[in-house]
Every structure is written in C-alpha cells, then in structure tokens.
C-alpha cells in the first residue's frame, strides 16, 4: 500500500513540475546550421520565440556568432560584438523579452546573409484553475514575432525540440529513490 501511495505522489509531482518547465530549443538554420546559404528571414517566419527558449547555432570553422546592437546588425558592422563565440556550437538562452541581433563576425559573411534577428516575447502567464482572468472578456494569445533579415534561398523543414528543466531529472531520481526505499521497508 505504501509503495502505491509513493508512486502516485511521485507521478503527481513529476507532472506538476514538467508542464511549466517546457521550453523550445531552436536549431538556427535547421540541418544546414549557421551558414551563408540560409535565408534566416524565412527560417524565423512562423516561429514564436519566448523567454525560456534557446537558440542553438551549429557551424564549421571560419564562422562566429556575434550578438550585436541593432545598428551594427543593420550595417553589418563587425568588431563591436556584445558577445562572440567561435566554438562551432553556440547556445544562446533567451532570458529576457526584446529584440536580439546576431551576425557572423567574419568580414563579408553578414553581408552575404549570415545575420539573424529575433523578437523574444515574455513567457505566457498561467491563471490558476478556477480563477477568472483579471480582465473580463479579453483573451491572451502568444504574439507573432517580428524579424528582420536578408538573403533568400531554400530552407529545410523547421527543427525544434522541447526540453525539460534539470529540476525534472532531479525529481525523477528522487522518486525512484523514494520508491526503492518504500519498497525495501
């Protein structure tokens, strides 16, 4: 009996913690990655980026991922990066709402299309069950992002994945340990 109760408690905890921790990892450029042959304006169309999501840039040597100002993005100015990485695998967590601008810092690459602008929306808020919304008669939906990028070429189908918070892994481990403890007593 005790092991059944422990199992049910663990399942409820797992479900309650997994739902709010969902986030999307967007692989920039999909299978092509961060390259000069991708139309990032087309790639971002239809995607909604929210706080908590992540951009994953995959690229070969000879490229960088530089986060830049709107001005440097528009003019493809290199050398003034807010952050820069050339590891070949750059992960950018989207922690705040607002515009984010990325270019390849190698001379000429931004002008050839290696630039990405995303608008990050605030994470949607949830209303507790049984509580009416604060504004009667209004509904809230996830806003469509505005993006600004250049060149045009064909882009493979979109790839994104859903990840769970590391907290969920810890919770699962706790539940397994609790289940084994209860089972052993």
The CATH number for 100's domain is 2.60.40.420
Give pLDDT tens digits for 88-145: 999 999 999 999 999 999 999 999 999 999 999 997 765 555 444 444 444 444 444 4
DSSP string, 46-72: T--EETT-EEEEE--TT--EEEE-HHH
List the alpha helices (DSSP H) in 21-136: 40-44, 70-75
Query: Which pTM value belongs to this model?
Result: 0.61
Q: What is the pLDDT of residue 123?
A: 78
Q: Select the more confidently predicted residue: 46 or 165.
A: 46
Give the count of domains, the chain: 2
Q: What is the pLDDT of residue 37?
A: 85
Q: Is the domain of 3 the same as that of 57?
A: no
Q: Is the domain of 4 the same as that of 50?
A: no
Residues pairing with 115 in the sheet: 103
Residues above pLDDT 90, as percent of the chain: 53
Domain around 85: 23-123+142-157
């Amino acid at each position: 009996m005790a092991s059944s109760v422990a199992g049910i408690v663990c399942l409820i905890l797992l479900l309650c913690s997994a739902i709010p921790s969902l986030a999307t990892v967007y692989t920039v450029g999909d299978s092509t990655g961060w390259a000069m042959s991708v139309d990032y304006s087309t790639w971002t169309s239809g995607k909604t980026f929210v706080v908590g999501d992540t951009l994953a840039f995959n690229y070969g040597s000879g490229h960088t991922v530089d986060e830049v100002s709107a001005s440097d993005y528009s003019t493809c100015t290199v050398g003034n990066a807010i952050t820069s990485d050339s590891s070949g695998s750059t992960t950018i967590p989207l922690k705040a709402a607002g515009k984010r601008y990325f270019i390849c810092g190698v001379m000429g690459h931004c002008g050839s299309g290696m630039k990405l602008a995303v608008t990050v929306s605030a994470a949607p808020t949830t209303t507790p069950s049984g509580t009416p919304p604060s504004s009667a008669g209004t509904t809230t939906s996830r806003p469509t992002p505005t993006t600004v990028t250049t060149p045009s070429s064909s882009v493979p189908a979109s790839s994104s994945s859903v990840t769970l918070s590391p907290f969920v892994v810890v919770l699962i481990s706790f539940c397994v340990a609790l289940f084994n403890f209860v089972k052993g007593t």
